[in-house]
Structure 1
Amino acid sequence: MKTMKIYAVAAAFMFSIGFTSCEAVKNTNNTQRGVAIGAASGAVIGGVLGNNVGKGGNTALGAIIGGVVGGAAGGLIGNRMDKQAQKIDQALPGAEVERVGEGIKITLGENSVNFDLNKSTLTSTAKANLDKLVPVFNEYPDTNIQIFGYTDSSGADDYNLKLSEQRAASVKTYLSGKGISSARIVTIGRGEADPIADNSTAEGMRQNRRVEFAITANEKMIQEAQQQAEKK
């Protein structure tokens, strides 16, 4: 299995105990990260991580950071997300699975979920790969799923925005048709914003035509984690 990326959202913790390197943060466990996040205000976290969140925070990474619970409850949520992320990584090797704070960011590019040129219709390959995610999503029903659609930079801005919205909606419709509750899913179109590669090359444009997921705890999971944390 490929190595998943793991990002600790615990800048305040790093400062408070004198860590001076990213390696030190990586070596903390999820409970420590959760407690650290709980000790910092949202404003501090937002200021430290603002450059990574994207425009207006309306990205998969921004959605995850915006849903931080923190404290011991956040650590418990993080442990549950570890297990889900590992299963997603195993089920769909073509996806890029990243553990971020208390959530999961999934990037689905042309190797996993792709579309016909200038269309929002899912290809047979895309459907087959989404089918692999359905059992994992069903196994962890107490999570919210935000789907972000993207395009490359070819075409007008308004056209790309609409196309990205339609692509994200196509993924939601397909997953809902496979039994995933539509109430769990929110879709956002980002057009050509937030490129992850150089749009001046064909390869870069292919990478930018993608769908990203933000997986976060829903209210039920948060309440259960808080109750469990209080008993300890």
Structure 2
Amino acid sequence: MKNLKLKTAVAGVAIVFSGIISPGCNSLTKTQKGAAIGAGGGGTIGAFIGKAAGNTALGAIIGGAVGGTAGAFIGRKMDRQAAEIKQSVPGATVEREGEGILVKFDSGILFDVDQTALKPAAKSNLQNLANSLNNNPQTTILIVGHTDNTGTATHNQDLSVRRAQAVKSYLTGYNVNGSRLTTEGKGLTEPIADNTTETGRAQNRRVEIAIVANDQLKNEARQSSN
């Protein structure tokens, strides 16, 4: 289901791209086309993919892309940070997506059922994540809470918001600048697995963290590509 949604979203973006880059632009190189897409599409295309694919964190990563050689410069930095997080945060799933990093925590690792207080093991994982974020200050971070469909939509929405905020609070306690962190709760609206099974519900109860380049890093990347 997730892959189908993502493929559908990407197909839609291809249509959008065809409007951004007209047939009269065939003389452009791939790098120039990528830069045009990054500069012109950015947040709009990211929001489109995020909504269509049912993944707010992924949309944030795509929406923050600059494309072209500047995007490649950012990607290399993200490769290094992703490797660092994989090594130091064993409780997380770390994926390199586009020009960013998607870090996923099963909420069972972070919280007890229907709770927002972090477990001791979660604190260790988040402390190590905070160290990586502090070692790489030229990024902004979106923290998104998710739940399964057990209980009311209102309760799950509130729970997802408070869990995202709990993660933010812990990271700021380890000197991650709060201005870099944004939280969002999606409740039960963005499942990644089948809510009719316990295994699926466990996968849906999660916190996702999107790490993307900030304006300073984007400007540095653009200057390096000139």
Q: Same fold (TM over 0.5)?
A: yes
**Where does structure 1 differ by over 6 angstroms across 4 or more consecutive aligned residues?**
none
- Over aligned residues, Cα RMSD in angstroms? 2.7
Structure 1 gap segments, 5+ residues each: 1-8, 17-31
Amino acid paired to 2:213: A
- Equivalent position of 2:172 in the other structure: 176
**1: distance between equivalents of 2:177 and 2:72?**
26
CA contact (8 A) 2:54 2:190 kept: no
Match of residue 57 from structure 2: 60
Per the alignment, residue 45 of structure 2 pairs with 46
Match of 1:206 among 187, 202, 219: 202
Query: Percent identity between the aligned chains?
Result: 46
Give TM-score, length-normalised by structure 2: 0.79
1:74 aligns with 2:48: no
Alpha-carbon shift at residue 55 of structure 1 (Å): 5.4
Matches within 5 A, 1:179-194: 179-194=175-190
* 1:88-103 equivalence runs, <5 A: 88-103=85-100
Once residues 66 and 143 of structure 2 are traced to their aligned partners in structure 1, the CA distance between those partners, rounded to angstroms, is 21
Q: What is aligned with 1:219?
A: 215
Q: Map 1:107-126 onto structure 2 (within 5 A).
A: 107-110=104-107, 113-126=109-122
Q: How many residues align?
A: 200
CA deviations 1:25-76 (Å, max 9, x no partner) are xxxxxxx987653243528x939x95x5235977000001111111211110
Say if 2:24 is the partner of 1:37.
no
Tell me, yes or no, if structure 1 residue 153 matches structure 2 residue 149.
yes
Counterpart of 1:163 (choices 159, 162, 167) is 159
Q: Kindly indicate which of the two structures has a greater share of residues assigned to helix.
A: 2
Instruction: Tell whether the 8 Å contact from 2:107 to 2:207 is kept in structure 1 after alignment.
Output: no
C-alpha distance after superposition, 1:86-133 (max 9, x if no partner):
11111123321111111111111146x421221111111211111121
Q: How many angstroms apart in 2 are the aligned matches of 1:34 and 1:95?
A: 33
Pick which of 196-205 and 211-220 moved more: 196-205
Residues 196 and 180 (structure 1), Cα distance of their counterparts in 2 relative to 1, 3 Å cut:
same
Aligned letter for 1:71?
A: G
1:144 aligns to 2:105 (yes or no): no
**Cα-to-partner distance string for 1:206-232 (whole Å, 9 max, x where unaligned):** 1111100110001111111111211xx
Specify the code of the residue in structure 1 equivalent to 2:58: L
Q: Which moved more, 1:169-178 or 1:65-74?
A: 65-74
For residues 165 and 196 of structure 1, the distance between their equivalents in structure 2, rounded to whole angstroms, comes to: 18
